[in-house]
Amino acid sequence: MDCILGVGGRDNETITKVFELTEEQQENLKSWSAELKVRNDILKDKSKYLMKKNEESSPEVLLTVSKEYGSIMDSMKRNVRMIDKRLLTSFNKAQYERYVKLCSQLALRPIHINRSVDEN
């Protein structure tokens, strides 16, 4: 299972403290949290509409609806992972190593970011 940070959730303050985010990272965290909320609110509204529209549908229709609902939930999970990855990409080496260590302690798979950028 992926080791998500939970950007946009109730843990933004914890993320800031645990990883000792810089001012710029804190501003990005706030901005990306807002973006995630907008993205996922749209998907939540879509899922609510889908469920309401099909409240009294036949079992056959409900099977199709459940697949659509699952697809919406998958999109929301991808949004969370995408935003977490953005923040992780902004981490310095020490912050990212702390993240990997915490994930290891929780037996979760860290989100890999490409650190092979030549900084010379």
Query: Using one digit for the tens of pLDDT, what is the confidence trace for 32-52?
Result: 999 999 999 999 999 999 988
Q: Per-residue pLDDT averaged across 69-89, rounded?
A: 94
pTM of the model as a whole: 0.81
Mean pLDDT, all residues of the chain: 90
Question: Which H/E stretch holds residue 3?
Answer: strand 2-3
pLDDT(75) > 50: yes
Block residue for tokens 């529209």: 53
What's residue 115's pLDDT?
Answer: 66
The closest alpha carbon to 115, from 7, 34, 95, 103, belongs to 95
What's residue 11's pLDDT?
Answer: 84
pLDDT(64) > 80: yes
Rounded to the nearest 5 percent, the helix, strand and coil shares of the chain are 70, 5, 30
CA pair distance 26, 59, nearest whole angstrom: 47
pLDDT bucket at 119, cuts 50 / 70 / 90: very low
